[in-house]
Amino acid sequence: MKILKIDHLGIAVNSIDARKNFWTDGLGLSLEATETVEEQKVTTAFLPVGESEVELLESTAPDGPIAKYIEKKGEGIQHVAFQVENIEDALAELKEKGIQLIDQTPRKGAGGAKIAFLHPKATAGVLVELCER
Protein backbone atom coordinates (compact mmCIF):
# COMPACT_ATOMS: atom_id res chain seq x y z
CA MET A 1 0.00 0.00 0.00
CA LYS A 2 1.31 3.41 -0.88
CA ILE A 3 0.00 6.52 0.83
CA LEU A 4 0.67 9.57 -1.35
CA LYS A 5 -0.33 12.40 0.99
CA ILE A 6 -2.89 13.65 3.47
CA ASP A 7 -5.70 14.28 1.02
CA HIS A 8 -7.98 16.22 3.29
CA LEU A 9 -9.24 16.80 6.82
CA GLY A 10 -12.96 16.28 7.20
CA ILE A 11 -14.57 18.83 9.51
CA ALA A 12 -18.15 18.40 10.68
CA VAL A 13 -20.19 21.61 10.81
CA ASN A 14 -23.84 22.36 11.47
CA SER A 15 -23.93 24.69 8.49
CA ILE A 16 -21.35 25.29 5.79
CA ASP A 17 -22.88 28.72 5.18
CA ALA A 18 -22.60 29.68 8.82
CA ARG A 19 -19.05 28.35 9.26
CA LYS A 20 -17.30 29.07 5.98
CA ASN A 21 -16.32 32.67 6.80
CA PHE A 22 -13.55 31.65 9.18
CA TRP A 23 -11.98 29.50 6.49
CA THR A 24 -12.44 31.96 3.61
CA ASP A 25 -12.30 35.48 5.06
CA GLY A 26 -10.35 34.46 8.14
CA LEU A 27 -7.71 32.12 6.71
CA GLY A 28 -7.95 33.28 3.12
CA LEU A 29 -8.73 29.86 1.65
CA SER A 30 -11.03 29.62 -1.32
CA LEU A 31 -14.14 27.54 -1.24
CA GLU A 32 -14.63 25.46 -4.35
CA ALA A 33 -18.06 24.25 -5.36
CA THR A 34 -20.11 22.39 -2.80
CA GLU A 35 -21.42 18.94 -3.61
CA THR A 36 -24.14 16.83 -2.05
CA VAL A 37 -23.54 13.09 -1.81
CA GLU A 38 -27.07 11.79 -1.24
CA GLU A 39 -26.10 8.22 -0.30
CA GLN A 40 -24.08 9.61 2.59
CA LYS A 41 -26.59 12.32 3.49
CA VAL A 42 -23.91 14.96 3.38
CA THR A 43 -23.04 18.18 1.60
CA THR A 44 -19.32 18.80 1.26
CA ALA A 45 -17.30 21.91 0.50
CA PHE A 46 -13.62 21.63 -0.37
CA LEU A 47 -11.07 24.33 0.39
CA PRO A 48 -7.64 23.61 -1.10
CA VAL A 49 -4.60 24.08 1.18
CA GLY A 50 -1.43 23.47 -0.81
CA GLU A 51 -1.57 19.84 -1.90
CA SER A 52 -4.27 18.98 0.62
CA GLU A 53 -7.74 20.25 1.36
CA VAL A 54 -10.12 21.06 4.15
CA GLU A 55 -13.47 19.35 3.65
CA LEU A 56 -16.41 20.93 5.45
CA LEU A 57 -19.21 18.41 6.02
CA GLU A 58 -22.81 19.35 6.64
CA SER A 59 -25.54 16.78 7.16
CA THR A 60 -28.53 16.79 4.82
CA ALA A 61 -30.68 14.76 7.23
CA PRO A 62 -31.03 14.45 11.03
CA ASP A 63 -30.15 10.73 10.83
CA GLY A 64 -27.07 11.20 8.64
CA PRO A 65 -23.61 10.19 9.91
CA ILE A 66 -22.45 13.81 10.25
CA ALA A 67 -25.56 14.82 12.21
CA LYS A 68 -25.01 11.87 14.53
CA TYR A 69 -21.34 12.73 14.92
CA ILE A 70 -22.12 16.33 15.89
CA GLU A 71 -24.81 15.15 18.30
CA LYS A 72 -22.24 13.00 20.10
CA LYS A 73 -19.05 15.04 19.84
CA GLY A 74 -19.96 18.49 18.60
CA GLU A 75 -18.56 20.25 15.57
CA GLY A 76 -14.91 19.67 14.74
CA ILE A 77 -12.45 17.38 12.98
CA GLN A 78 -14.35 14.24 12.02
CA HIS A 79 -11.87 12.32 9.90
CA VAL A 80 -8.46 12.39 8.26
CA ALA A 81 -8.16 11.17 4.68
CA PHE A 82 -5.08 9.68 3.08
CA GLN A 83 -4.76 9.47 -0.65
CA VAL A 84 -3.60 6.05 -1.80
CA GLU A 85 -2.38 4.88 -5.15
CA ASN A 86 -4.79 1.95 -5.35
CA ILE A 87 -7.63 1.72 -2.87
CA GLU A 88 -8.58 -1.91 -3.59
CA ASP A 89 -4.99 -3.00 -2.94
CA ALA A 90 -4.85 -0.89 0.22
CA LEU A 91 -8.06 -2.43 1.61
CA ALA A 92 -6.87 -5.94 0.80
CA GLU A 93 -3.58 -5.27 2.59
CA LEU A 94 -5.28 -3.83 5.66
CA LYS A 95 -7.67 -6.79 5.82
CA GLU A 96 -4.72 -9.12 5.64
CA LYS A 97 -3.14 -7.26 8.55
CA GLY A 98 -6.34 -7.73 10.54
CA ILE A 99 -7.22 -4.05 10.66
CA GLN A 100 -10.95 -3.54 11.07
CA LEU A 101 -12.68 -1.75 8.20
CA ILE A 102 -16.02 0.00 7.92
CA ASP A 103 -16.05 -0.34 4.15
CA GLN A 104 -14.93 -3.69 2.77
CA THR A 105 -15.10 -2.24 -0.73
CA PRO A 106 -14.75 1.37 -1.89
CA ARG A 107 -17.76 3.63 -2.24
CA LYS A 108 -18.30 6.80 -4.17
CA GLY A 109 -17.19 10.02 -2.49
CA ALA A 110 -17.31 13.69 -3.45
CA GLY A 111 -15.52 14.73 -6.60
CA GLY A 112 -15.76 11.25 -8.10
CA ALA A 113 -13.20 9.85 -5.66
CA LYS A 114 -13.29 6.24 -4.49
CA ILE A 115 -13.30 6.23 -0.69
CA ALA A 116 -13.35 3.76 2.20
CA PHE A 117 -13.33 4.22 5.96
CA LEU A 118 -11.34 2.23 8.50
CA HIS A 119 -12.98 1.43 11.80
CA PRO A 120 -12.16 3.88 14.63
CA LYS A 121 -11.75 0.85 16.92
CA ALA A 122 -8.71 -0.08 14.85
CA THR A 123 -7.20 3.40 14.98
CA ALA A 124 -7.57 4.53 18.61
CA GLY A 125 -10.59 6.70 17.89
CA VAL A 126 -9.42 8.41 14.72
CA LEU A 127 -11.77 7.95 11.79
CA VAL A 128 -9.44 7.30 8.85
CA GLU A 129 -10.56 7.55 5.26
CA LEU A 130 -8.65 6.23 2.30
CA CYS A 131 -9.30 7.84 -1.04
CA GLU A 132 -8.18 7.35 -4.58
CA ARG A 133 -8.63 10.11 -7.14
Which residues in this chain contact Zn ion in the complex, by CB under 5 A?
Answer: 10, 55, 81, 129
Largest CA distance in the chain: 45
Handedness of CA 67, 62, 101, 120 (dihedral sign): positive
The nearest distance, CB 113 to Zn ion, in angstroms, is 8
Which letter does DSSP use for residue 22 in this model?
I
Contact 46, 55 (CB under 8 A): yes
The nearest distance, CB 8 to Zn ion, in angstroms, is 6
The nearest distance, CB 55 to Zn ion, in angstroms, is 5
Q: Which residue is nearest to Zn ion (CB)?
A: 10
> Which is nearer to Zn ion, 81 or 91 (by Cβ)?
81
